[in-house]
Structure 1
């Protein structure tokens, strides 16, 4: 079930990125393509088979996991910029791109890299399952590393949440309000990932469901915003044609 969810999410992200290629080639609204492409890479790096192949090419010490974390950071950063600009959330934009946001990103990144190199990471293992089972010290360090990796996406999600709630309650077009609701749900799912260390090991499947729910909510939410823009553009085109007649 988990594997099906992973590959299905990869397919959705990949197809959505491909759908944005024509706009990319025309030089129109390029940021959604980069966001979807980064999401696709992140999902690919989270699946066991491609993860092992990529990590073996990087030396077999789970550098692919560190790469995955920074790909996620980049994705959520650009997603945050895109959403704040689209919804006119200037305060949230400053919290992401301003001094506070940069300090949060730098501090979390340094902590994450430091903990990574304190671990014994030998042996490619998606999700660092192998290193976590090596000994008690490694298990604790893997938890700290995972917490650091979830901290920055959670920060961005919580910064975006008030703007998304306002958008849902506004008089914006229905598609945009649905998109805002999905983005808010995805943000809540990411924030809930901070509770993962308190979830029993027997509930590991819950972590996958929460993570992939967040990804799918973000992908579908952004796709709906794109659809709303296309629909609005067609409406404006029809209005102009009617005026010309």
Structure 2
């Protein structure tokens, strides 16, 4: 089930990135393609086979996992800016780009680096599963490391949540409201993922469910925004011109 969820998420992200290539070649909306590509790369680095191949090429010290954390930080930052601007959420944009954001990002980054350095990370292992299994001390460090990596994404998505909720009862097009609903669901899922350290091993699948459902919601929500804009543009182009007086 977990593997199906992982590869499905990868396929959706890759498909959406490929669908944007014609627009990129025309010089249109390259930032959206970049977001899809970065999110797809992040998913790729979370799957066993690709992760092991990449990390072993980097020395087999799970540096790929550290790269993944900061890849997610950067992706979420640019994603948050795009969503806030797209929905006209000035307050959210200020929270994402202001001094509080810098403090949260710096604290999360420092925590990720320090906790990674405290672990014996030798031996490539997707999700640091092998590192977790070394001893109780490493198990705790892996949990804290994961929580630190989810702190900044949760902050950004929570900053966007009020704007998404305000959009739901509005009179905006259904595609825009559907996008807001998906992005709100992603915000909730990412925030709940902060509880991963207290989720028992018997319910470990919930961690994957929260992470990958959040990514799928983000990808689909962005796609609906793009589709809504494309349809609005086409409708405008097909409107009959005003007859001269």
SS at match of 2:183: helix
Q: Give me the whole-angstrom Cα distance separating, in 2, the residues matched to 1:198 and 1:100.
A: 27
Query: Residues 87-123 of structure 1: CA distance to partner in whole angstroms, max 9, x if unpaired?
Result: 0111111111122111211111011111101101111
Q: TM-score, normalised by structure 1?
A: 0.97
Q: Would you tell me which structure has more helix in proportion to its own residues? A: 1
Q: Give me the whole-angstrom Cα distance separating, in 2, the residues matched to 1:229 and 1:87.
A: 12
Structure-2 change in CA distance of 1:244 and 1:62 (3 Å): farther
Q: What residue is the counterpart of 2:12 in the other structure?
A: 12
Q: What residue is the counterpart of 1:185 in the other structure?
A: 185
Structure-2 change in CA distance of 1:230 and 1:244 (3 Å): farther
Q: Give me the whole-angstrom Cα distance separating, in 1, the residues matched to 2:146 and 2:209.
A: 16
1:244 shift after superposition: 5.9
1:135 shift after superposition: 1.0
Are residue 206 (structure 1) and residue 206 (structure 2) matched?
Answer: yes
> Following superposition of structure 1 onto structure 2, how do residues 40-119 of structure 1 map, counting pairs within 5 Å?
40-119=40-119
Q: Give me the whole-angstrom Cα distance separating, in 2, the residues matched to 1:66 and 1:196.
A: 18
1:242 shift after superposition: 4.1
Are residue 163 (structure 1) and residue 163 (structure 2) matched?
Answer: yes
Number of positions where the alignment pairs a residue of Structure 1 with one of Structure 2: 244
Q: Give me the whole-angstrom Cα distance separating, in 1, the residues matched to 2:51 and 2:179.
A: 31
Q: Give me the whole-angstrom Cα distance separating, in 1, the residues matched to 2:198 and 2:214.
A: 19
Which consecutive unaligned segments of at least 5 residues does structure 1 have? none
SS at match of 1:46: coil
Q: Give me the whole-angstrom Cα distance separating, in 2, the residues matched to 1:34 and 1:78.
A: 10
1:222 shift after superposition: 0.4
Are residue 2 (structure 1) and residue 2 (structure 2) matched?
Answer: yes
Q: Give me the whole-angstrom Cα distance separating, in 2, the residues matched to 1:99 and 1:206.
A: 33
Q: Give me the whole-angstrom Cα distance separating, in 2, the residues matched to 1:160 and 1:7.
A: 28
Which consecutive unaligned segments of at least 5 residues does structure 2 have? none
Q: What residue is the counterpart of 1:243 in the other structure?
A: 242
